[in-house]
Amino acid sequence: MSGIIQFVRHFMQEKPDPTPLSHLFKFNGGIHPPQHKVESTLKPIGKLQLPEKLTLPLRHHIGNFPNIKVQVGDYVLKGQMLVEAEDMISPAIHAPTSGIISAIDEQLIPHPSGLPELCITLTPDGKETWIKLQSTDWRNADKNQLLSNLRNSGIVDLGGATFPTHIKVPTNGSANVHTLIINAAESEPYITCDDMLMRERADEIIQGIYIMEYILGAKKSIIGIEDNKAEAIKAITNACSAADQSKIEVKVLPTLYPSGDARRLIYLLLGKEIPHDKRSTDEGIQVFNVATALATYRFFAFGEPSICRIVTMTGNVESPQNFEVLFGTPLESLVQAAGGAKLSTQHFIMGGSMMGFNIPNTQVPIIKATQCIIASSPDLFAEPPAAMPCIRCARCADVCPVNLQPQELYWFAKSNNFENARKYDLFDCIECGCCTYVCPSNIPLVQYYRYAKSEIIAEDQSANAANLARERNDFRLARIERDKIEHAQQHAARARQAKESKTVTINDDGTQSTTSSTFKEPTTIDNKAAFNAAIERSK
């Protein structure tokens, strides 16, 4: 009953005044899919019980395998570093609780590939014993030291792409960031974790923004929030008023998907188009998710590394809600905390309804990139009708937020004309799904783009592999040629020694004369030329 009352109360809420459109810049297209956000915002953020095991994938990105600092059988404390960031791309990983390392092996993880990945399994001891935590006096600290601390924090951008936060901070004056944008748009349907975070922890978020501003050297910050989050807007605005709000501006955006895409958000707020071959920091702008601001605050204020996040558990479950979840928690625990999946549930989706992907089973762990899990049923996601031929209506182009020609990309992908797909900026496609959503012929356009991208990447990789093989072969031929030359020279030297033996001749007058035979070294000029040419080719 209280749920129904809250539901009604939600719809009776006044909508916040959006920032005047004259202060915003509208990007092309976008869509208004059903939001399905209310269901999971009726209860406060919940906590889960400690699961029986936590499974932590070691690799979150394309980076190298990080450096594992523990072995099977080790006892670890909550917050202890298990894996050190090995290169720029990989984040550090910390123990989400105290317990024993029970395995380091391959496990299924939530990833579109469905492939297993090397993971650390931790069996909790139930004591939740922390490492010794230490806060940082960031206002008086050296920025390089802060950056190095950030690298060890395990914090990634929690908005989806999960790039480690430290790589998003330009170092040694490589770029001059003047504006920090906090992405609180959360425009994808079903996802409400940022909304709930802002409602409940606005003060900490604002403190985190101050720390980020300091590290980046930014002069001002803008928080972009969609107008479907009335309570969050109120909480954040109040928190700004309570703090020194002079540098932080809250901008209320009209609800439109995909405003939460970083480049779309920059355009909406500042009217700046970031060229596809540049980063936003080249234009002095950096974007962080609102949850990243909170994680940054917790790390510098209390020394807590990144070991948990807020996850929306929604869709076809009994009681949709947001939960604070330790990384590595099996999805099954989250489903149970939300009252369990209803009988008609077919499978689970990680992410929102526009960009999410199916996950293999409910034993996969919650990872840093898990914003939302949707229990899917035929009522929520009906099987799409069979695709029909393209009728060239151009609706897809009308809604494309990146100004692409989706119908052309579709034809190129379908006919394996990857060269033209590339020319038509296939790789600028953010796979938002707006084109698929409006296509009257029900063509699964994004699937074609993913196919074309993966084929092009595979082609590039095999071309690189072929180049590498050719170089290796050239080098092998060069080595054989060099060996031949060396053998020829050694042979010639031996022959010269033999022929240089003295010859005694009896002259006509009976005297003897001694002559040394002169050896004519065989020319190796042709061989040397071939050798040098091979070396050149192999460079």
By CB under 6 A, name the binding residues for ligand SF4: 390-396, 399-400, 402, 404, 406-407, 410, 429-435, 439-441, 443, 445-446, 449
Shortest distance (Å) from residue 135 CB to ligand SF4: 42
Shortest distance (Å) from residue 451 CB to ligand SF4: 13
Q: Please, what is the end-to-end C-alpha distance for the chain in angstroms?
A: 75
Shortest distance (Å) from residue 443 CB to ligand SF4: 5
φ and ψ of 7, to 5 deg = -60, -50
Shortest distance (Å) from residue 438 CB to ligand SF4: 6
- List of residues 6+ apart from 485 with CB closer than 8 A: 524, 527, 528, 531
- List of residues 6+ apart from 397 with CB closer than 8 A: 404, 405, 406, 407, 435
Give, as one character, the DSSP assignment of residue 377: -
Are the C-beta atoms of residues 354 and 330 closer than 8 Å to each other? no
**Long-range CB contacts (within 8 A, 24+) of 230-235:** 230/13, 230/14, 230/15, 230/16, 231/13, 231/195, 231/199, 232/184, 232/194, 232/195, 232/196, 232/198, 232/199, 232/202, 233/16, 234/16, 235/198, 235/199, 235/200, 235/202
For ligand SF4, the closer CB: 180 or 399: 399
Q: What is the DSSP string of 100-148?
A: EEEEEEEEE-S-TT--EEEEEEEEE-SS-PBPPP----GGGS-HHHHHH
How far is residue 322's CA from residue 156's CA, in Å, rounded to a whole number? Answer: 20
For ligand SF4, the closer CB: 231 or 455: 455
For ligand SF4, the closer CB: 133 or 391: 391
Shortest distance (Å) from residue 156 CB to ligand SF4: 24
Shortest distance (Å) from residue 194 CB to ligand SF4: 21
Shortest distance (Å) from residue 354 CB to ligand SF4: 9
For ligand SF4, the closer CB: 366 or 402: 402
What SS3 state is found at 498? Answer: helix
What SS3 state is found at 390? Answer: coil
For ligand SF4, the closer CB: 299 or 410: 410
For ligand SF4, the closer CB: 290 or 399: 399
- List of residues 6+ apart from 427 with CB closer than 8 A: 276, 453, 456
Residue in the block written with tokens 């269901």: 39
Shortest distance (Å) from residue 385 CB to ligand SF4: 13
Q: Beta strands of 282-419 (E only): which ranges?
A: 285-289, 308-315, 321-326, 347-350, 357-359, 372-376
Shortest distance (Å) from residue 418 CB to ligand SF4: 16
Q: Is 95 left (phi over 0), alpha (psi -120 to 50) or beta?
A: beta
Half-sphere exposure (Cβ direction) of 10: Cα atoms closer than 13 Å: 17
For ligand SF4, the closer CB: 81 or 262: 262
Structural tokens at position 129: 């014993």
Are the C-beta atoms of residues 61 and 162 closer than 8 Å to each other? yes
For ligand SF4, the closer CB: 161 or 394: 394
Shortest distance (Å) from residue 402 CB to ligand SF4: 4
Q: Is 215 left (phi over 0), alpha (psi -120 to 50) or beta?
A: alpha
For ligand SF4, the closer CB: 278 or 392: 392
Are the C-beta atoms of residues 158 and 371 closer than 8 Å to each other? yes
Structural tokens at position 154: 């395990």
For ligand SF4, the closer CB: 133 or 394: 394
Shortest distance (Å) from residue 10 CB to ligand SF4: 30
Shortest distance (Å) from residue 280 CB to ligand SF4: 18
Nearest one of 163, 515, 198 to 368, comparing CA atoms:
163
For ligand SF4, the closer CB: 263 or 368: 263
For ligand SF4, the closer CB: 365 or 433: 433
Nearest one of 259, 310, 269 to 434, comparing CA atoms:
259
Shortest distance (Å) from residue 442 CB to ligand SF4: 8
Shortest distance (Å) from residue 188 CB to ligand SF4: 12
**CA geometry: angle 82, 85, 86, nearest 5 deg:** 115
Structural tokens at position 496: 């010269």
For ligand SF4, the closer CB: 155 or 421: 421
Residue in the block written with tokens 């702008």: 285
For ligand SF4, the closer CB: 120 or 396: 396
Report strand pairing: 308-315 vs 372-376: parallel
